[in-house]
Homo-oligomer: A and B are copies of this chain.
Amino acid sequence: MRYKAGLETREKILTATRRLIADAGLDGTTIKAICEQAGVLPGSFYNLFDSKEQAILSVVRAAIDAVDPDPEHKGPDSVADLIEAYIRFVTTERDLATVYVRIAVAGSGNNEEIRGRMLRHHEGRVSRFEAALARERPEMSPDEAARRAETLVISLNGITLHQIVDPDFDVALHARGLLADALTGA
């Protein structure tokens, strides 16, 4: 793949795949459905991807990366910053957020690469929350800060999970509630 047309087709396929995983689930994400949504034929798909799994993995990697934007920037974010960034992601990139949860649940049992990637990503996120928490609540014991940071990240995932079941769910309200709980507790 080197010509412009190929790159554009690749993007169309990835966009269609992302949309399908979010809307129809993994079962509904067939080659036929992807090709129809992308306006492309199967042969063209297989000119650019080795397998259906490869296309899905590309989308999944993008989704995982998008959950934690700017992971290199190790700057001193506050817990509130991190929560607001998450709210922004979940509300503006709902498809990617849905893909993230769908794959975490469906892929972790079968696919070791996905499971490992999810776990490493989780640890990274927890670390950032933990550091922010230690900065803002210096009197808190390190163990307590670590436990709270992990609970916070997991609870945020619970919020995203619930948004899949109830699309009208108020993500921001509950995410900010978690923030308050994490900062005010004993």
Contacts and interface: CB of A to CB of B under 8 A. Distances in A.
State the 8 A-B residue pairs at the shortest beta-carbon distance, nearest first.
A158-B158, A155-B155, A154-B158, A105-B105, A108-B165, A181-B181, A157-B158, A154-B162
17 contacts: A24-B109, A25-B106, A27-B27, A27-B110, A101-B161, A104-B161, A105-B105, A118-B165, A119-B165, A119-B166, A151-B181, A154-B158, A155-B155, A155-B158, A157-B158, A158-B159, A158-B161
A67 interface: no
Contacts of A109: 23-25, 164
Given A108-B164, A158-B161, A162-B157, A27 B25 contact: no
Contacts of A94: none
Contact of A106 (B102, B118, B150, B158): B102
A182 to B, nearest CB: 7
Interface string A52-77: 00000000000000000000000000
Interface string A22-42: 011111100000000000000
A151 B178 contact: yes
A129 B109 CA distance: 31
A147 interface: yes
